[in-house]
Structure 1
Amino acid sequence: MLAMLLLNADRVVSIDRISEAIWNGHPPATARTQVAICVAELRKTFRSFGFRDDVLLTSSPGYLLRRTEHEIDLLSFRSKVAEARALTDRREIVQATERYDEALALWRGRALCDISSAVVELEAERLEEQKLAVQEERTALHLQLGRHRELISELTALVEEKPLREQTRAQLMLAQYRAGRRAEAMRTFREGRQYFIDEIGLEPGPVLQELHEAILNDDPAIQEPAQPRQIAPPVTRPNTFPADVVPFRGRDAELTALDGLADAPGPSAALITGCTGIGKSALAVHWAHRKAEEFTGGVLYANLHACCRGPQESDARDAVHQFLRQLGVAAADLPADLDAATALYQDLMRDRKALVLLDNVATYQQISHVLPPGPRSAAIITSQNQISELVGNALWLRLRPVSEQEAVDLLVSLIGSRAEAEPRATAELAELCTRLPAALRIAATKLIAKPHWTIQRLVNRLAEPRTRLDHFEHGEQRLRSRLQASYQRLSPEVARMFRLLGRLNTTEFGLHDACTLLRLDPNEAERLIENLVDVHLLDGVPGPDTEDVRYRFQPLLRTFAAELDHNEVRAAETARAPRLVGRSAKAELRFAT
């Protein structure tokens, strides 16, 4: 059980997987109870060695072993290998071989050799394959550095242990040849060829065949190479973030809270969440402009919604590559491997005091590789989602609409004297915009573009709920499109709940109200509604009773939900119409005959 938890450190291992590993796919009826007993014993053992109680957590559908501050040799191995690959990509060969040596020094024979479990043995085979691949990568670098004589005894032992491993045999042949032992290199090939034929009935592959031919012909291509050129890492101070939002009004409390990031003693992060149009990106960018000079290592920026729309690993690699380019790494030098790219990024960031802006983040997996590692850097993450991995580990700012006065101040600063001439209409406009900064700016831009309109004229048009969103469009600014993008990221069942709630003739409701009016199962309704709260399409509001929770729509979001529901009903009626016509025609035909 401990082996499974260690192999999956920082990830939940289900009870079913643990049971399969312990009982080789045939768990007894009491498996869950026995696993729970084992967990209790493990926790007791951990405590006796000074580990904290939260090192082994219960997390549905199983258990999670946290790395905390303690090292796990497998993860240390992988980290050092990633660093070595990054150094190799930067052609820092000597440093790369040192890191490879450190990684392989962590091994003490075969992994998990004392555990009898089919599942664990399969993992052990995979780890052994990883180790052999790393040994070959390390050997290739040592050969580049001309260390062929020192390699011969080590490679001879490896070939005896793994005689069918062609790459290792080829490296031994090359080391022997470069050491002036050509006859031994030829014998190594002949012995390998005979072993291949005897054991698997095949000739060696092209790697060995071509090297054998090159040795026979003393091909210059396999002579000892010149010493590799060491490339210094790029040095640059990136400042690629967007222009400041002007004018910026309100958010004084949030700006003060963020100010602590610049002076924090260790790596620090802030998570800014809220609904579409609430001003998450504007707040992050505005604060970055205020504090940019204090981050002497620069400001890095990535819009994750724009650059990362593929599989999770592809998303993460794209983000790392984007930051490496901002740090001065040439496109041709970007490591293709995610771990290598991450190691290079962390190496370049380790001694900097930099600010990392991660905008429009959907999942933690997108950003886990680019959170700054250095003790003086900070990160600001904006997201519509509650990113659970950051909640509790970062400053969490949940944005609400700006105050009535701040909304009016923003309109006055944008529209000028026209707003001052129509104070009542300006206040009404602020409320019709739900005091959302994005809606306020679109409305103000529309009025600026139409100097012949009074503010009251726009207020009158916004007063009609069915067409309200039509008026929050100007040029490329479209509030409906932004809301639609948020809606499209919902699962089908959560999206359906959002539409159904648009039927409620109120912006605030209780769970009982929703279930009664919409004829929904309370447990299922609560699950789906809470999903909407998590992505800030609804707000949760404490009720008068400890068990009572109420939910609140931002008015523009309710308008959008009602519009979606109306369109869905119309689409269903349109699709049903041909069937009704067909049935009517058949009925008339039967009547006529």
Structure 2
Amino acid sequence: MLAMLLLNPDRVVSIDRISEAIWNGRPPATARTQVAICVAELRKAFRSAGFRDDVVLTSSPGYMLRRADHELDVLSFQARVAEARSLTARREFERATEAYDAALGLWRGRALCDISSAVVEIEVERLQEQKLVVQEERTALHLQLGRHRELISELTTLVEEQPLREQTRAQLMLAQYRAGRRAEAMETFRQARRHFIDEIGLEPGPILQELHEAILSDDPSVRLPSRQSRASSTSIPAGTFPADISAFCGRDKELSDLDILLHRPPGVVGLLTGSAGIGKSALAVHWAHRAADRFPGGVLYVNLHDCCRTPQDSDAVDVLHTCLRQLGIAACDVPGDLDDARSLYRGLTQKRDVLVVLDNVASYRQVRHVIPGGTGARALITSRNQISELIDTSLWLRVQPVGHEEAAEMLGALVGHRAAAEPRALRELAELCDRIPAALRIAGTKLIAKPHWPIQRLTSRMRDPRTRLDHLEHGEQSLRRRFQTGYQRLAPEAARMFRLLGGLETAEFGLHDAATLLRLDTGEAENTLESLVDAHLLEGVDGLETDEACYRFLPLLGAFARELHRAEERTAEAARSKPPRLVAAGGKRELRFAM
């Protein structure tokens, strides 16, 4: 009875719940009477111990333990852990270890170990998990402070008690390695591998596997940090941020607009949206290099490759862990618990002037934990989607094709001296590329690879819209493939409309045309068209001469839609032209059409 009340201070515990705990789900008919007798005995015990006020109160539908000014060890534990985490976030590691030690010093074995109750045991397991997480956090700090030798004995005991706990075993391996006992670290991994395979039939997870590889190769990431780097609060590993774009040119207005982000309040993010290949990532990377001096805490960079797959819930955890590692937290020290990792990240970025670049984001849920809130911190996000959760709190730029002069300049920078010899062909080629940076780069690299081609040869080949996309492929670069990945993520109805619109004779059309084509009412048609606009596969056009909504394709996207439409028509025609075949069924000959 007392255990149930202590586990729920200041909360009413129903008589039914108490009865379930005491009699393991099989209470006798006299359960309510016996519970009332227990309460009376508890109150008597508290009064005998010197408590003047009632500690156990009657409150429908059960009873409540009133905490008031009394001290409860589990709440003291949680308060000291919160203090330790706050100190860790401020990188006051010495004081944080003292707070962790005080929290763990409250434990004297397993909680409530003399009570046999299935309900209580569930709560005990939860408390035990909290304790293990706190032990790992404390150990991570001691490793950060170079106290690896003192930890080996303690960690060896913990591993014996919890052989399947990967984080603890990884910390033991790291302590052994830093103490010059590399062979023992390797043996600890081999023991883990045998135990995992024997017990659960699985190889160790990525934490142990990555640490094993790092120790084998003497990777710098697992060595003991120098005293200077341990004290530093702005150390971010090099090599995590892409190099600046060598052939970047133009985008003066967009860069100037992004500079406004430096003066916006905390929490405002820069959001760059646009179609595939439009140059969002290049713009973000170039601006980040240009503004890097304003962020002495460093630049964090995560590429989420949104075009490769449907976003997963696990992406948010992966992004958070990646940012923590870039902030200097060793992989084995990154908290496994999401709340703990988020708290550590917020603490690290609260007082740092950092720029967080999140490239190719598909949804808000992927990045919601890593948007910094510090006064001098900022986030810059690129996406093909309109991330509605951010639009009202962002500096939002819809990235368009580059200007006419900029497109020719970008292409000229790639092909070198040949640009001056054929200026008209160069300008026409830039227009045939829709002034899309990815298309310009592909065309430029193709001309570099074919020095015997005049620019006019590629320009002439690209004039035919039916084969234009064929000429925007070179090596691993393919504009068609970029379009394809965005198209594949459309809802079925939107994908069907995109294909059917490819059958129109014009690149610009009205809402009525689309509704007639799909045999939809105008409301349904407009919703589907707007989803294509949101996915940057279609553009809305200001209807100045009519109230009807109008839309248009960029020429290359229109060519892609026509390819899909022709492919669908060929498939349908092939199905119609298949001859019927006779098959036997139930002793009869039936005429069936192969589909």
Name the TM-score, length of structure 1 as normaliser.
0.62
What SS class does the counterpart of residue 305 from structure 1 fall into? coil
Question: Which aligned pairs between 1:76-155 and structure 2 lie closer than 5 A?
Answer: 95=96, 144-146=104-106
1:416 Cα deviation after fit = 2.2
Deviations 1:534-573 (A, max 9, x none): 1111111120267432111111001001111211222233
1:536 is matched with which residue?
A: 536
Deviations 1:480-534 (A, max 9, x none): 1111111111111111111111111222111112223454432221111100001
**Counterparts of 1:456 and 1:585, CA distance in 2:** 62
Q: Which letter maps to 1:145?
A: G
Q: Measured at CA, do residues 80 and 338 of structure 1 come closer, stay the same or move farther in structure 2, by a change above 3 Å?
A: farther
Contact residue 307 and residue 485 of structure 2 kept, 8 A: no
**Counterparts of 1:241 and 1:489, CA distance in 2:** 28
1:360 Cα deviation after fit = 0.5
Q: Measured at CA, do residues 311 and 447 of structure 1 come closer, stay the same or move farther in structure 2, by a change above 3 Å?
A: closer
Instruction: Give yes or no for the alignment of 1:236 onto 2:235.
Output: yes
Contact residue 159 and residue 169 of structure 1 kept, 8 A: no
What SS class does the counterpart of residue 389 from structure 2 fall into? coil
**Counterparts of 1:501 and 1:532, CA distance in 2:** 11
**Counterparts of 2:532 and 2:430, CA distance in 1:** 25
Instruction: Give yes or no for the alignment of 1:452 onto 2:452.
Output: yes
1:576 Cα deviation after fit = 4.5
1:358 is matched with which residue?
A: 358
**Counterparts of 2:310 and 2:97, CA distance in 1:** 31
Contact residue 276 and residue 384 of structure 2 kept, 8 A: yes
Instruction: Give yes or no for the alignment of 1:257 onto 2:212.
Output: no
Q: Measured at CA, do residues 335 and 459 of structure 1 come closer, stay the same or move farther in structure 2, by a change above 3 Å?
A: same
2:197 is matched with which residue?
A: none
2:60 is matched with which residue?
A: none
2:562 is matched with which residue?
A: 562
Q: Measured at CA, do residues 91 and 558 of structure 1 come closer, stay the same or move farther in structure 2, by a change above 3 Å?
A: same
Structure 1 residues without counterparts, runs of 5 or longer: 1-77, 99-137, 174-210, 212-230
What SS class does the counterpart of residue 302 from structure 2 fall into? strand
Q: Percent identity?
A: 55
1:312 Cα deviation after fit = 3.5
Deviations 1:199-238 (A, max 9, x none): xxxxxxxxxxxx9xxxxxxxxxxxxxxxxxxx98975234
Q: Measured at CA, do residues 88 and 245 of structure 1 come closer, stay the same or move farther in structure 2, by a change above 3 Å?
A: closer
1:80 Cα deviation after fit = 11
**Counterparts of 1:461 and 1:429, CA distance in 2:** 10
Q: Measured at CA, do residues 352 and 422 of structure 1 come closer, stay the same or move farther in structure 2, by a change above 3 Å?
A: same
Partner of residue 165 from structure 1, selected from 109, 120, 126: 120
1:246 is matched with which residue?
A: 246
Q: Measured at CA, do residues 522 and 297 of structure 1 come closer, stay the same or move farther in structure 2, by a change above 3 Å?
A: same
Aligned residue pairs total 410
**Counterparts of 1:589 and 1:533, CA distance in 2:** 49
**Counterparts of 1:407 and 1:569, CA distance in 2:** 35
Name the TM-score, length of structure 2 as normaliser.
0.61
Contact residue 277 and residue 439 of structure 1 kept, 8 A: yes
Q: Measured at CA, do residues 369 and 97 of structure 1 come closer, stay the same or move farther in structure 2, by a change above 3 Å?
A: farther
2:342 is matched with which residue?
A: 342
1:263 Cα deviation after fit = 3.8
Deviations 1:112-141 (A, max 9, x none): xxxxxxxxxxxxxxxxxxxxxxxxxx9xx8
1:147 Cα deviation after fit = 6.2
What SS class does the counterpart of residue 495 from structure 2 fall into? helix
With 309-318 and 163-172 compared, the bigger mean Cα shift is at 163-172
1:50 is matched with which residue?
A: none
Question: Which aligned pairs between 1:307-322 and structure 2 lie closer than 5 A?
Answer: 309=309, 312-322=312-322
**Counterparts of 2:363 and 2:125, CA distance in 1:** 44
2:165 is matched with which residue?
A: none
What SS class does the counterpart of residue 288 from structure 1 fall into? helix
1:584 Cα deviation after fit = 12
2:333 is matched with which residue?
A: 333
Question: Which aligned pairs between 1:297-446 and structure 2 lie closer than 5 A?
Answer: 297-305=297-305, 309=309, 312-446=312-446
Instruction: Give yes or no for the alignment of 1:273 onto 2:273.
Output: yes
Pairwise CA RMSD = 4.0
Q: Which letter maps to 2:121?
A: E
Contact residue 299 and residue 354 of structure 2 kept, 8 A: yes
**Counterparts of 1:513 and 1:235, CA distance in 2:** 58
What SS class does the counterpart of residue 388 from structure 2 fall into? coil
**Counterparts of 1:365 and 1:427, CA distance in 2:** 42
**Counterparts of 1:334 and 1:172, CA distance in 2:** 21
Q: Measured at CA, do residues 437 and 95 of structure 1 come closer, stay the same or move farther in structure 2, by a change above 3 Å?
A: same
Contact residue 83 and residue 96 of structure 2 kept, 8 A: no
Contact residue 502 and residue 558 of structure 1 kept, 8 A: yes
Q: Which letter maps to 1:144?
A: L
Q: Measured at CA, do residues 249 and 170 of structure 1 come closer, stay the same or move farther in structure 2, by a change above 3 Å?
A: closer
1:260 Cα deviation after fit = 2.1
1:268 Cα deviation after fit = 3.1
Contact residue 311 and residue 362 of structure 2 kept, 8 A: no
Contact residue 80 and residue 103 of structure 2 kept, 8 A: no
1:267 Cα deviation after fit = 3.8
Contact residue 277 and residue 436 of structure 1 kept, 8 A: yes
2:35 is matched with which residue?
A: none
What SS class does the counterpart of residue 300 from structure 2 fall into? strand
1:575 Cα deviation after fit = 4.1
**Counterparts of 2:418 and 2:388, CA distance in 1:** 45
Q: Measured at CA, do residues 168 and 393 of structure 1 come closer, stay the same or move farther in structure 2, by a change above 3 Å?
A: closer
Q: Measured at CA, do residues 546 and 295 of structure 1 come closer, stay the same or move farther in structure 2, by a change above 3 Å?
A: farther
**Counterparts of 2:124 and 2:356, CA distance in 1:** 46
Structure 2 residues without counterparts, runs of 5 or longer: 1-77, 129-160, 162-229
